[in-house]
């Protein structure tokens, strides 16, 4: 240790500084390479995950649309005249078999009487047999009913089964009424579960080159309905990220499966489509993490390799020129420190000592300029994110941020606030009669009138459609007077005719609902809800008027 200390002490401060610069350049380049590698990996991970969730969504969407088509066909069947002709069983059977022949997913269609005895069925199967105790009859005589996947019971030995595997069905049943609205019987349809397997297989046709990807379909309780044979019938409800009943959008996650292996997993829950209400099915797309992230690891290795090479290159350059850059770099560093602490202007000094220094200082100037431009761009993007693109008014996101800051400020200044919801009356009629372009022009004009009704320091935001909200600050004793004064100006201004292109005129009114903070509620969310309720009260009382929330006595 003593030897190394003596050896190091032989080097001049100048040499030590050169070595320090080279080491800093090397370390900085490596750090930037690591950051770039990590960020790129995270972006690619998100892209892969979104692709997995999109595949799951496509599968569940196809299933929902297919079920919706079958339900619509069942509804069309209700128009068959033979349902109301008790004596023509043969004609009804022929029509049912004709429908079955056009859809290979329909395994059996039957029509029962009021007591549940099958009167006519495709192939004559189960005719004369009572299915009164089956869910398809019990549920179907009440209303249109869709049953989840189940194994065949009565039809197991009666329907052809070339594969020899257990038959599974999805049931659709609906009541049939005569011309006097009396129950005639029920129409029952058994859909072969093979159609879902066809859809599952179709998901792989465009992606056969992507190995190790698997598609699964789970029941609402997490039981595997489709997928690898080793998983069919097992419950996957223990998966950490399995979407719940209220989840509406596709999701993805790196999931540890019961086998202990990690998969990039995409989820999408069925929410139904049009006439099909949905059965809570969950489509799952999974791929082993090692296979899914192979490209990510390659990218990370490439970035780190390039980073090391750049680090070495810059270290060598820094070692070569550091001796002539000590003083100028100190000046540049001092200027940067002053700029950071706000003690200097936003222009880096231009060093003239050598072409290299001049170029470096120029580059640093440009870099600072770009950073400032980026900062301005970020500020503009934040403005866009908080602004309604049509009217230029603040949007709901801005309103939430504003209220978070306005409440403490109002408390410090001992002020209260009026929250006033504004909803246009007759706006839908303008859209329907004059078109959406005219409706947009009307909203722009209404926006100007709302601004004219504001005082300095007040805020008006557009919540969406033809709904706006105003937030007014004042002393508590002026709450009621200010509310009535602003509402009077709004009712008068908005009721004025609006001139549209082609000499068209439009007339709209507005309904107003107001509540006061903290008079009506200590929490601003409560006051917002009360103002919204007051708005609905104004509309129910005849529109074009103000309703102020009145607390229950």
Q: What is the CATH number of the domain that holds 38?
A: 3.30.450.20
* Same domain, residue pair 415 and 293: no
Task: Decide if pLDDT at 258 tops 90.
Answer: no
Q: What is the rounded distance in angstroms from the CA atom of residue 528 to the CA atom of residue 418? A: 10
Handedness of CA 39, 41, 43, 45 (dihedral sign): negative
- In percent, how much of the chain has pLDDT > 70? 67
311 and 416 part of one domain: no
pLDDT of residue 529 exceeding 90, the answer is: yes
What's the rounded Cα separation, in Å, for the pair 186 and 36?
A: 65
Distance CA 521, CA 529 (A): 10
Query: Same domain for 303 and 407?
Result: no
Same domain, 418 and 313: no
Whether residue 188 sits in one domain with residue 82: yes
pLDDT value of residue 371: 62
Query: Do 401 and 279 sit in the same domain of this protein?
Result: no
Residue that finishes a domain, picked among 292, 318, 344: 318
Q: What is the pLDDT of residue 18?
A: 62
- The answer to whether position 211 is within a domain reads yes
- The predicted pLDDT at position 209 comes to 46
347 lies in a domain?
no
Take residue 96 and report the two structure tokens written for it.
């049912």
Backbone phi, then psi, for 192, in 5-degree steps? -65, 135
Residue carrying structure tokens 């509309």? 539
Looking at 61-134, which runs of residues are DSSP E strands?
A: 106-112, 118-121
- Where b means 16+ CB within 10 Å and e means fewer, 182-220 reads eebbbbbbbbbbebbeebbeebeeeeeeeeebbbbbbbe
Instruction: With CA atoms as reference, report the closest residue to 141 among 120, 111, 109, 121.
Output: 111
Is there a single domain that holds both residue 134 and residue 278?
A: yes
pLDDT in tens, 428-462: 888 888 888 888 888 888 888 888 888 877 899 98
The pTM (predicted TM-score) of the whole model is: 0.44
In a domain, 336, yes or no: no
According to the model, what pLDDT value does residue 224 have?
76
377 in a structural domain = no
459 lies in which domain range? 396-548
Q: What is the pLDDT of residues 377-421, one digit of tens each?
A: 555 655 556 688 888 888 888 888 888 888 898 889 899 999 999
Q: Where do the DSSP E strands lie in 193-303?
A: 214-218, 224-226, 251-256, 262-269, 282-288
What is the 8-class DSSP label of residue 205? Answer: G
The pLDDT of residue 500 is 84
* Residue 378 is assigned to a structural domain of this protein: no
End residue of a domain, out of 293, 318, 343: 318
Considering the domain boundaries, does residue 171 fall inside one?
yes
How many folded domains does the chain comprise?
Answer: 2
CA neighbours within 13 Å on the CB side: how many for 31? 6
Whether 62 and 179 map to the same domain: the answer is yes
Question: 429 and 421 in contact (C-beta within 8 Å)?
Answer: no
- pLDDT over 60 (residue 280): yes
pLDDT tens-digit map of 90-128: 777 877 777 777 766 677 788 888 888 888 888 788 888
Q: What's the confidence (pLDDT) of residue 208? A: 46
The answer to whether residues 404 and 518 belong to one domain is yes
Q: What is the CATH classification number for the domain harbouring 456? A: 3.30.70.270
pLDDT(85) > 50: yes
pLDDT at residue 21 above 80? no
Residue 475 lies in a domain: yes
**Which of 318, 338, 359 represents a domain boundary (last residue)?**
318
Task: State mean pLDDT over 146-170.
Answer: 61
How are beta strands 183-192 and 214-218 bridged, if at all? unpaired
The per-residue pLDDT of the chain, averaged, comes to 76
Q: What token pair was written down for 190?
A: 């058994």
Within 13 Å of residue 89, how many CA atoms lie on the same side as its CB?
13
Confidence tier at 468 by pLDDT (50, 70, 90): very high
Place of tokens 């202990």: 260
383 domain residue, yes or no? no
Per residue in 332-346, pLDDT (tens digit) is: 666 666 666 655 555
Three-class secondary structure of residue 112 per DSSP: strand
């Amino acid at each position: 240790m003593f030897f190394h200390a003596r050896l190091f002490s032989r080097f001049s401060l100048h040499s030590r500084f050169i070595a320090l610069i080279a080491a800093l350049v090397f370390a900085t380049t490596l750090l930037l390479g690591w950051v770039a590698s990590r960020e790129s990996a995270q972006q690619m991970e998100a892209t892969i995950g979104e692709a997995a969730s999109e595949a799951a969504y496509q599968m569940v969407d196809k299933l929902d649309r297919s079920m919706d088509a079958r339900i619509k066909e069942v509804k069309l069947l209700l128009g068959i005249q033979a349902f109301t002709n008790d004596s023509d069983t043969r004609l009804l059977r022929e029509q049912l078999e004709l429908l079955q022949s056009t859809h290979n997913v329909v395994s059996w269609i039957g029509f029962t009487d009021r007591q549940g005895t099958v009167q006519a069925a495709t192939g004559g199967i189960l005719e004369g047999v009572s299915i009164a105790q089956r869910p398809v009859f019990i549920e179907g005589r009440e209303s249109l009913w869709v049953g989840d996947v189940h194994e065949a019971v009565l039809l197991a030995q009666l329907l052809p089964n070339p594969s020899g595997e257990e038959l599974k069905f999805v049931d659709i049943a609906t009541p049939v009424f005569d011309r006097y609205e009396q129950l005639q019987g029920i129409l029952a349809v058994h859909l072969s579960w093979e159609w879902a397997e066809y859809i599952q297989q179709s998901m792989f046709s465009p992606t056969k080159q992507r190995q190790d990807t698997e598609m699964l379909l789970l029941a609402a309780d997490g039981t595997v309905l489709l997928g690898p044979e080793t998983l069919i019938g097992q419950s996957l409800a223990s998966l950490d990220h399995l979407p719940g009943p209220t989840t509406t959008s596709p999701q993805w996650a790196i999931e540890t499966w019961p086998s202990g292996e990690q998969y990039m997993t995409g989820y999408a829950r069925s929410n139904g489509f049009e006439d099909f209400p949905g059965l809570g099915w969950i489509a799952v797309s999974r791929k082993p993490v090692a296979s899914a992230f192979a490209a990510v690891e390659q990218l990370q290795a490439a970035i780190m390799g390039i980073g090391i090479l750049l680090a070495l290159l810059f270290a060598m350059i820094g070692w070569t020129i550091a001796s002539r850059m000590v003083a100028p770099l100190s000046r540049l560093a001092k200027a940067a420190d002053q700029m950071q602490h706000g003690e200097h202007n936003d222009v880096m000094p231009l060093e003239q000592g050598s072409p290299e220094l001049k170029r470096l200082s120029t580059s640093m100037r440009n870099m600072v300029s770009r950073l400032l431009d980026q900062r301005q761009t970020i500020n503009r993007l934040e403005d866009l994110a908080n602004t309604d693109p049509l009217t230029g008014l603040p949007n709901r996101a801005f309103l939430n941020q504003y209220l978070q800051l306005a409440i403490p400020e109002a408390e410090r200044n001992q002020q209260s606030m009026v929250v006033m919801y504004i909803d246009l009356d007759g706006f839908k009629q303008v859209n329907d009669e004059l078109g959406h372009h005219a409706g947009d022009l009307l909203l722009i004009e209404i926006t100007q009138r709302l601004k004219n009704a504001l005082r300095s320091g007040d805020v008006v935001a557009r919540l969406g459609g033809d709904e706006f909200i105003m937030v007014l600050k004042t002393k508590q004793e002026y709450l009621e007077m200010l509310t009535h004064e602003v509402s009077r100006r709004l009712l008068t201004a908005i009721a004025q005719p609006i001139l549209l292109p082609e000499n068209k005129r439009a007339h709209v009114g507005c309904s107003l609902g107001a509540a006061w903070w903290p008079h009506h509620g200590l929490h601003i969310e409560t006051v917002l809800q009360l103002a919204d309720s007051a708005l609905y009260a104004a509309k129910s009382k005849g529109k074009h008027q103000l309703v102020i929330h009145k607390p229950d006595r």
